[in-house]
Chain A
Amino acid sequence: MEDHLISKKDLLLRYGISYGALYRWKRMGLIPEDWFIKKATVTGQETFFDEKTVCERIERILNRKDTSSLEELAKTLSGVKTEPTLVVTTPYGVRRFRREELLSARIEGEESRDVTAELLSLFEGKDNTL
């Protein structure tokens, strides 16, 4: 099941932002590098993002820009404990799972071992205050 992705082109069009702005926000850490997902398409390599995550972030940046500087926002975002997410990198892309999205997990091989509790416990531990 694919996360809903939005292409970089569509993202820029939707919010009326320029390439320069997007790249600037990436350099400032406002949009993390691993959010840029490269996929091969008919017209060549294109970049996609997880739609929900990136749109939330872009809206936050656009709404914030007038009241506080981008630098301040970058600092806030780097310090903020965002919702813990399990990030799995595969040769085919990056998959992200929030805690509530993990219904069960097991390791299958000669035997099957349920690791759900172990995996969920990894989401605990750090103080998750926003």
Chain B
Amino acid sequence: MSMENDLKIAGSGSVSGGEYRHIAISGSGRIHGDVLCESFRVSGSASGKGSITCRGEMKCAGAFRIDGDVTAEEELKISGSCTVDGDIRGGEIAIAGALRGKSLHGKRLRLAGGLTLEGDAEAEEAHLSGGGRIGGLLNAETVRIRLGSGNGRLTVGSVGGTDILVESEGAVVGLFSRLFGGRRGRERLVTTLIEGDTVELCYTECDVVRGSRVVIGEGCRIGRVEYSESYDCRDDASVREAVKV
């Protein structure tokens, strides 16, 4: 079981899977088979048929497509576009670009771009800004979603965790654009269920919110709130019913 060989593809090339030390693809590369490596770097366009398991860091700047699972034990960094027909596992996961996959598990997830997942996203901490879609559950100890002043939306099946905070950047920007540009859109979080210990929302559309301490802020449209300790609803929010449980 040797991981002594590095693999470099510059230009156009195609290699078989296997065990490598450092893999670097710049240009257009194709990998056939599962890969186990120490580090993996793509800049350009690459595709893989099989899974990639990386003990260290995996960096993708360019377009990368893989028909399998991706595991980057230390760090997965994407600035570009990465399409994974499988599950994504990583320690630190940082996306400034677009990531598409089935499910995602990491220690820390930072998204500034687009995330499209069929299933669940789980992490200890999840910081999301940008749009996208998570089909299943977004679950983290700390969920922090920052909505911008574009017209996009973040659609999530359901959100669960300990501290869930949805904030909207640019209250000042919003005012500016309203004065000079007419009514710009607002990014929104759209989901069916949010459950947490502390839940603070704005510009969120949600059927049911459950928590110990719940604050419904501006721009929210909520069906039902169930809270156990405290509940605050700001003026510019619509909540159909709020129940203390």
Please give, as numbers and ranges, the residues of chain B lying within 8 Å of A21 by CB-CB distance: 162
Q: A9-B245, A26-B139 are in contact. Are A20 and B193 (CB under 8 A)?
A: no
**Does A43 lie at the interface of the complex (its beta carbon under 8 Å from any beta carbon of B)?**
yes
A15-63 with Cβ < 8 A to chain B: 18-21, 23-24, 26-27, 43-45
CA distance A23 to B122 in the complex (A): 10
Q: Are B162 and A23 in contact (CB under 8 A)?
A: yes
Q: Shortest Cβ distance from B137 into chain A, in angstroms?
A: 9
Q: Are A27 and B224 in contact (CB under 8 A)?
A: no
Q: Are A44 and B193 in contact (CB under 8 A)?
A: yes
| Stretch of B43-51, B86-94, B108-116, B203-211 on the interface side | B203-211
**Number of A-B contacts defined by CB within 8 Å:** 44
B117-135 with Cβ < 8 A to chain A: 122, 124
B: number of interface residues (CB 8 Å): 22
Please give, as numbers and ranges, the residues of chain A lying within 8 Å of B139 by CB-CB distance: 23, 26-27
CA distance A27 to B121 in the complex (A): 10
Q: Are A43 and B162 in contact (CB under 8 A)?
A: no
Q: Are A18 and B212 in contact (CB under 8 A)?
A: yes
Q: Are A27 and B196 in contact (CB under 8 A)?
A: no
Q: Are A20 and B196 in contact (CB under 8 A)?
A: yes
Q: Mark B62-74, 1 if CB is under 8 A from A, else 0.
A: 0000000000000
Q: Are B207 and A19 in contact (CB under 8 A)?
A: no
**Does B163 lie at the interface of the complex (its beta carbon under 8 Å from any beta carbon of A)?**
yes
Q: Are B207 and A20 in contact (CB under 8 A)?
A: no
CA distance A9 to B124 in the complex (A): 23
Please give, as numbers and ranges, the residues of chain B lying within 8 Å of A19 by CB-CB distance: 160-162, 195-197, 210-212
CA distance A23 to B193 in the complex (A): 14
Q: Shortest Cβ distance from B242 into chain A, in angstroms?
A: 13
Please give, as numbers and ranges, the residues of chain A lying within 8 Å of B124 by CB-CB distance: 27
Please give, as numbers and ranges, the residues of chain B lying within 8 Å of A44 by CB-CB distance: 192-193, 207-208, 223-224
**Which of B122, B141, B224, B226 meets A20, CB within 8 Å?**
B141
Q: Are B162 and A18 in contact (CB under 8 A)?
A: yes
Q: A44-B192, A44-B208 are in contact. Are A23 and B245 (CB under 8 A)?
A: no
CA distance A18 to B124 in the complex (A): 16
B197-228 with Cβ < 8 A to chain A: 197, 207-208, 210-212, 223-224, 226
Q: Are B197 and A18 in contact (CB under 8 A)?
A: yes
Central interface residue in A13, A20, A27, by most chain B CB within 10 Å: A20
Q: Are B245 and A24 in contact (CB under 8 A)?
A: no
Q: Mark A69-101, 1 if CB is under 8 A from B, else 0.
A: 000000000000000000000000000000000
23 CB < 8 A contacts A-B: A9-B210, A18-B212, A19-B161, A19-B162, A19-B196, A19-B197, A19-B211, A19-B212, A20-B141, A20-B163, A20-B196, A21-B162, A23-B161, A23-B162, A24-B141, A24-B162, A27-B122, A27-B124, A27-B139, A44-B207, A44-B208, A44-B223, A45-B192
Which A residues are closer than 8 A to B by beta carbons?
9, 13, 18-21, 23-24, 26-27, 43-45
Which B residues are closer than 8 A to A by beta carbons?
122, 124, 139, 141, 160-163, 192-193, 195-197, 207-208, 210-212, 223-224, 226, 245
CB-based closest 8 A-B pairs: A20-B162, A20-B197, A19-B195, A23-B160, A18-B197, A23-B139, A27-B122, A19-B196
